[in-house]
Amino acid sequence: MHDGDIDYARYTLRELEEALAGINRHRYPRNYANLCVAYERVTSRPAPAPRDASASVAGTLVDEPPPTRYDAYGRHVPNQISRRDRVAYLVIALVLLVYGACGVWFDDLILPGRRGREMHFHGPLAWMFYGAMLCACLVMASVIADHYDRRDNEASYRLFADIFKALGWVLFVLSLVFQMFRNA
């Protein structure tokens, strides 16, 4: 049995109240939403507020993953990213993409520094640094895509972003270290 499989349409008021008292709304958000809709249909009033979310088992608090958001009809409510953030991510990603592509094209990718101390990457190190920039662009693109994707797959976007963040940082640090050794 999966979350959302239970049909509460034929439950009596007493059965609905018992189910509301015992359901774990964080573990079974779709069943909880379906249960609330059935309760409202029978009583013409909203379902009572659930008990405290921090349930204790043998004196210790249970750590549960944050609930996925569902509306009253059991439909997934996707992440909402503000227009300002989406535009900022898009502009930054495009600037990084173009700046890095020009640097690789001319075989001189420049990392600006303080007081005129900049680093110039050439050859494979320029490509490695550009790879880090591409990873940053992909992470920002995944945030934008997550806003428009209406499916319940935020965990996949989070995993994608975490992988490319880690890969981007590794490429960035390696290119800096190799460049410092090359200059030494």
Q: What is the pLDDT of residue 121?
A: 92
Q: DSSP letters along 29-44, please?
A: HHHHHHHHHHHHHHHS
- pLDDT of residue 21 exceeding 70, the answer is yes
pLDDT category, 171, cuts 50, 70, 90?
very high
CA 74/CA 51 separation, integer angstroms: 20
Q: What is the pLDDT of residue 60?
A: 44
- pLDDT tens-digit profile of 67-106? 556 666 666 677 788 889 999 999 999 999 999 999 999 9
CA dihedral sign, ordered 153, 155, 158, 162: negative
CA 115/CA 93 separation, integer angstroms: 26
CA 12/CA 100 separation, integer angstroms: 64
CA 34/CA 8 separation, integer angstroms: 7
Q: What is the pLDDT of residue 69?
A: 67
Q: What is the pTM of this model?
A: 0.60
Mean pLDDT across 163-172: 96
pLDDT category, 56, cuts 50, 70, 90?
very low
Q: What is the pLDDT of residue 72?
A: 65
Rounded (10°) CA dihedral 102, 124, 163, 156: 50
Rounded (10°) CA dihedral 14, 19, 20, 26: -170
CA 25/CA 46 separation, integer angstroms: 15
- pLDDT tens-digit profile of 115-164? 878 889 999 999 999 999 999 999 999 999 988 887 878 888 899 999 99
Residues present in the chain in total: 184
Decide which of 13 and 63 is more confident: 13
